[in-house]
Chains A and B, each alone.
Chain A
Amino acid sequence: MPGKLKAKIVAGRHLPVMDRASDLTDAFVEVKFGNTTFKTDVYPKSLNPQWNSEWFKFEVDDEDLQDEPLQITVLDHDTYSANDAIGKVYIDIDPLLYSEAASVISGWFPIYDTIHGIRGEINVLVKVELFNDLNRFRQSSCGVKFFCTTSIPKGYRAAIVHGFVEELVVNEDPEYQWIDRIRTPRASNEARQRLIFLMSGELQRKIGLKVLEMGGNAVVGYLQCFDLEGESGLVVRAIGTACTLEKLSSGSGTHTHPNTAPASNACNSPSKDGKESPLAHGCRSTHNSPVHSACSSQRLSQNFSVSVPTLIFTGMGSGSMGKDAGPLKTLLRQQTQTALEQREFPFFTLTSFPSGFLLHVGGVVSARSVKLLDRIHNPDEPETRDAWWEEIRQEIKSHAKALGCHAVVGYSESTSICEEVCILSASGTAAILNPRYMREGCLDLGGSDQRFEDPSPSSCGFCHIPYDELNMPFPAQLTYCFHCRRQKVPDVLFTTIDLPSDAAIAGKGCFIQARLCRLKKKGQGEANATAISNQLPFMEYELHTQLMNKLKLRSMNALFGLRIQISVGENMLLGLASATGVYLTALPAPGGIQIAGKTPGDLNTEQHILNIQKRINDTIAKNKEFYEVNPPDLTEEVVGSPIPEPRLRSRLFRSHSESSDELSELDLSHGKKDAFVLEVDDTDAVEDIHSLLTDASPPKGFYSCNTETMPGIYNWTSALQMFTSVRVLRLSNANLSNQALNKVFTDLCENLLKSFYFKLRSMIPCCLSHLVFSVAVPEEDLIQVAVTAVAMTFDKDQTQEKPAEKPITKGCSEAEDQLQFSLELCTDSSSINSQSSSKNSGVPESSHLSTRDRCSTWLELLRLKAHTIRRGSVKTSRRTQSLAHSVSSLEHSSPLTEGRSRSLRSSRSFGGSSVSVVKMTPLSFLPGTRIVKYVGIINMFFIRETTSLREEGGVSGFLHSFVAEVFAMVRAHVAALGGNAVVSYSMKDCVLMENPNKNQCQCLINVSGDAVIYIRETDQEVTGSTANIGLSCTSSADGAT
């Protein structure tokens, strides 16, 4: 008997009136776990019952502890008829199963009913006594910690990063079972909620088992999603990165990077020999059956399950071919590959890494596949879905290989379902990682093994191309890195990860979004799927062009946190790409945008073109000023004349290579800024220009980004406001053209942003961080956009300063000089290595391309467009102009008074004390605070339904209160775990179905995050402060009505 679960029902408050005659309620509580149910006594005639029950004890397997939630039902006793349910609380026991997390769950939980929403609160105490179980064949994975955070959690260091873990479980959706016809909506909703709780518990347990198998103790970047496939079932799937985490001594603060932390050198393995096989644990999926075995249950034949080839984003341009393949790079690649290739999927869901982990970034890789759904016949064998994902992951893997990379970071998966069509998408960033982290033992960066030391300075190293210049996977313009002048860099870099903390940038970042709406014919089955999959490459291409143009318009050269979502509806496809643009000083300055007319001579057109050109140039200038993008002078110099210094260095570097002079000259000439040429006769271009110019920049004092931190802002103050916004637009005119539709969609997104700026204007100067947009087509003619983000204030006076710990451009180049010696040592082997590497990578790549003929047309398109790129030059001579913030004189009160860290046990309230403040943020940190403990993962799923939509204020009123209720329930659970904040919060799903004619509406929301305890950075003591933040008068009895 591995565990004993104990629960105590203390009291209730604010219960609804269940007996109209007496205006009171006779409440009692049922506590259920697994198949065991206990009941409290009836507390008669009270809206604030004090049950103060005994401890209900459940003796259960730890497997059940992981799978099952504790289910608490509050009922109204009725002598003559059936007892009426007031509502339920589901409590996830999982956080009690780790040794370091919460030891008790205790607090007020909102009593939730799927029809009425929150109906009062209940105070509950839950404890678990876990017995040690040494059974090796156990099915549970208690003790494996889960984090939503996509970086190494604060206060921990990653001893080993094992790699990718994935799992999915399927079941029938209760909503579509026959019994649903005869049961009440409430019963159906509850069945669904409970099932999903169970499934996600099971999923987490199974993933935990895999992690244990690999030797890890935690999952970081845990991403769990639901696919509501309707008739064909319900899929819960999750991916994550298995790690072995070690807790840092509590003394080290937030800013302590794992590398500076005291490392245990005891286990320093002799890793000098790169060939020595690291890690025996491979990440193995349990369902590894070949695709075809599942074909019988798959209605769609293989011919039609078209996988759309990846967009390998890395910018366009006529390729310059250099012969130099960084010798070190090759060496490194070989060594790391051995470590990584043993893994089925060298994927990492992390988006930011300890410094030194990420060596080079290749570019974005993505794969999409359109599938037809069919009923899942046997829930115990989810092979079909597994095979689908396997296919996609293989594709991603091969794309990464084509980019000369052995790993994919910032990896994520998503789906979009409409009726029976499902688009599966996966994307990530191809990268080369430092092999040290893959191996046991050699963890500390100050390690002895110098050969593995990344030769490139960390501020620009990740920009250096990982692929072979001779066999570039796409046309790109390479130049020598503007930082170290030693390695090649692309002209533009797209990634799905966060900006590395030590990257050298100029100015601030900015939120860039490409939006696209495409009509499609309504269709059925395979024809429909084919039509969709034929459209996908064009959409990706268009989105890419838009991103490129917008990036140039802001005179930036890199995108981080790129997320492309393609959503399918019955009669349209929506594409939304969001990213944060940055000017990386290591990359060449972006060229401008040039407008050209096809029919020269026409005076009107010329004038028109001139006008547009002027507007674009003005916008670029304005943006430069706004984002404070002032690339260092050196860009100008390089463009003007080849300066001797870089050449000198490159010569030093490749003294044996005869062609070095030629090469460097060639490259420098390519350093000239190329302008994008947009031809206005082209309708697409008109549209592009239009969308370019309609994008309003945020008002003064506002910045926005979709990454964890805003590049260029470092001095956050502690005020923050997390928010969720949902907007649904009904297209009134069914016969819209693509262009009109695009405009509608663009306006929708733009207006949302404008709304945010307006609503949050009291927080200026402020930055909207982690802006996550998700689009859906819930019905024909409806477009839904849901956004979750956080607004954070910063101190505007110091925005220019970078904290001292961050490397500054100048300091970096000095450091490079010191590194040069070690670099030279390796040059001997350069020529040999470069050849072998080119062969190596050449073979898989060609096969990779040939296997996918379908993509050729699309790749050709890309090239065609690339040809239109001509040279132009836009002088970028604007100097710094500090931004003048106009601080609004409107109410300037911060929306959140700081709740001080509270002693969580003692302030846990009964009766009338006030509610403790729980902060929520989609980021992994809270500015001005230090996270001292992770108390558990939050993963909740709620359904809300109404049959009196009008009375609840229409759809908006309904959803408004539901979102507020979800926040409230998350906060309550966090507080009960002893936490005072949720980090890495995200709303995974928000599925809204309405039927205004029937006065009905249903909504499903899935949220997740990490519950934490934080303390203010200024506070020294960890706990023990019982600051009373309540109103003095709140201590009065709450029961008086």
Chain B
Amino acid sequence: MAVELDVFVGNTIIMSEEVYQLWLDGYTVNDAVKVRMEGGVLDEFDAKVDVVLSDTMDQYRTFQMCERLLHSPTKLANQLLFQIPPHRQATLIERYYAFDDVFVREVLGKKLSKGTKKDLDDISAKTGVMLKSCRRQFDNFKRVFKVVEELKGPLVENIRQHFLLSDKLARDYAAIVFFANNRFETGKRKLQYLTFQDLAFCAGQLINNWTVGAVDNMVEDMDVDLDKDFLQELKELKVLITDKDLLDQHKSLVCTALRGKTKCNLNLSRGLVNIATKLTNTKDVRDFFIDLVEKFIEPCRSDHWTAADMKLYLTHYTNSAHILDTFKYQVVWDRYMGVIKSCIFKMYHD
């Protein structure tokens, strides 16, 4: 007695968010049924396996048919095939584009290419995210990247409009696109402790302050590419470590301000300024985060600074430069240190 065919179609789409999540997570129908049966929610309804199976199959098919539309979410609103209430549309899209932080942490900064796609099984094995789900998430990144790549205007806004995502999710995607575009190195062992949210925050800072879009908001790729002129200007900051007078003056100012509170270590200054001066080099841009960790965070940590110590230090370090009368690059300094400060704050875990 084999069920040859079994379908159930409603005039309005019929879906349960639980099943949708299982589908997104890459569960096979049978595994999903198992999870649902074990979930116990169904006990009160006294549902038999075949009933749950049939329901799961119907929903899986519906989701598969919707998937094509979800690839360009704006279509979902004016397609005629399924009647989906607006709040359901929003849920479908938001959940489809949601991703696992552990997974995205693995591909962050990698080229969104076929090559990376081939490594997905390893990533899947490492993160415990099912391969199917990895593929969906990876394809989502790629799709968003491709669409946004050629658009003018602010990155976050573009993503939100074209994919109808929430503000939070759109920002996360902007970070992913930004990382992929600049190929920041995030996979090194030293960086492993950083979560996706840490890095996404930093990306947000970079997008808002260091890209072309921070100055001019009508160019292509404005939020994806770093402002070349700015990077060039950063070279001028070298005086802070090459000019002996300036260095000493700066050092004494910082030490006075910090007196008694924290150790006054201006080797850190050398590190930060060196990062700034090398950013014209694409290779060094990629190593931006690793440099921050190696040149600043690690030394602080080995000195057992607390986050508060570090904050205090950076604040005074930044501010003292303003008092240096021979230091002419105040604007560049602020633009640079503003981002560095907030990135380090975020990246410095106690």
Contact = CB atoms under 8 A, between A and B. Distances in A.
B52 interface: yes
Interface in A705-731: 721-731
B2 A956 contact: no
Contact of A721 (B1, B14, B41): B14
A955 B16 CA distance: 23
Interface stretch (B78-86, B97-105, B195-203): B78-86
A878 to B, nearest CB: 24
Contact of B74 (A725, A730, A956, A1036): A1036
Contact of B9 (A723, A751, A992): A723
Contact of A920 (B11, B57, B90): B11
Contact of A761 (B1, B6, B45, B147): B45
Interface string B239-271: 000000000000000000000000000000000
B2 A727 contact: no
Interface string B34-62: 00000001001111101110110110011
A1038 B78 contact: yes
Contacts of B13: 895
B77 A963 contact: no
A936 B46 CA distance: 44
A992 B5 CA distance: 10
Contacts of A525: none
B75 interface: yes
Interface string A650-678: 00000000000000000000000000000
Given A725-B7, A759-B55, A1040-B162, A895 B14 contact: yes
A596 interface: no
Given A891-B16, A1041-B72, A1030 B45 contact: no
Contacts of A914: 77-78, 86
B41 A964 contact: no
Nearest to A118: B81
Contacts of B50: 751
A986 B147 CA distance: 43
B8 interface: yes
Nearest to A781: B4
Contacts of A648: none
Given A725-B7, A961-B65, A964-B81, A755 B51 contact: yes
Q: Which residue among B3, B8, B46 has the maximum number of chain A CB atoms within 10 Å of its CB? A: B8
Given A721-B12, A920-B11, A955 B164 contact: no
A721 B51 contact: no
B1 A731 contact: yes
A732 B2 CA distance: 7
Nearest to B165: A1033
B115 interface: no
Given A723-B14, A759-B58, A963 B2 contact: no
A896 B7 contact: no
A912 B77 CA distance: 8
Q: Which residue among A108, A909, A1040 has the maximum number of chain B CB atoms within 10 Å of its CB? A: A1040
A198 to B, nearest CB: 26
A897 B7 contact: no
Interface string A782-802: 101000000000000000000
B7 A960 contact: yes
A755 B54 contact: yes
A967 B79 CA distance: 13
A744 interface: yes
A268 interface: no
A891 B21 CA distance: 14
Contacts of A121: 80
Nearest to A791: B10
Contact of A1038 (B3, B47, B75): B75
Given A754-B48, A758-B55, A971-B83, A1040 B16 contact: no
A777 to B, nearest CB: 13
Contacts of A1038: 74-75, 77-78
B10 A723 contact: yes
B81 A782 contact: no
A443 B194 CA distance: 84
A248 to B, nearest CB: 29
Contacts of A311: none
A273 B77 CA distance: 64
Contacts of A913: 78
Contacts of B64: 953, 957
B188 interface: no
B57 A956 contact: yes
A909 B77 CA distance: 12
A919 interface: yes
Contacts of B189: none
A731 B5 CA distance: 13
A260 B58 CA distance: 47
Given A730-B1, A956-B5, A960-B65, A1031 B90 contact: yes
B298 interface: no
A754 B64 CA distance: 25
B161 interface: yes
B8 A755 contact: yes
A757 B42 CA distance: 12
A197 B13 CA distance: 29
A723 B6 CA distance: 13
B8 A730 contact: no
B80 A897 contact: no
B87 interface: yes
A1029 interface: yes
List the 4 closest A-B pairs by CB distance, nearest first.
A1034-B77, A728-B5, A728-B4, A725-B8
20 contacts: A722-B10, A723-B11, A723-B14, A724-B8, A727-B3, A727-B6, A731-B1, A754-B51, A759-B55, A760-B14, A886-B44, A897-B87, A915-B80, A956-B5, A956-B6, A959-B5, A963-B9, A968-B83, A971-B80, A1031-B77
Interface of B: 1-14, 16-17, 41, 44-48, 50-52, 54-55, 57-58, 61-62, 64-65, 72, 74-75, 77-83, 85-87, 89-90, 147, 160-162, 164
Interface of A: 13-14, 108, 110, 118, 121, 699, 721-732, 744, 751, 754-762, 782, 784, 886, 888, 890-891, 893, 895-897, 909, 912-915, 917-920, 953-957, 959-961, 963-965, 967-968, 971-972, 992, 1029-1031, 1033-1034, 1036-1038, 1040-1041
Given A730-B3, A957-B64, 10 more contacts: A14-B75, A726-B5, A727-B6, A729-B2, A730-B4, A918-B83, A957-B61, A964-B65, A971-B83, A1033-B77
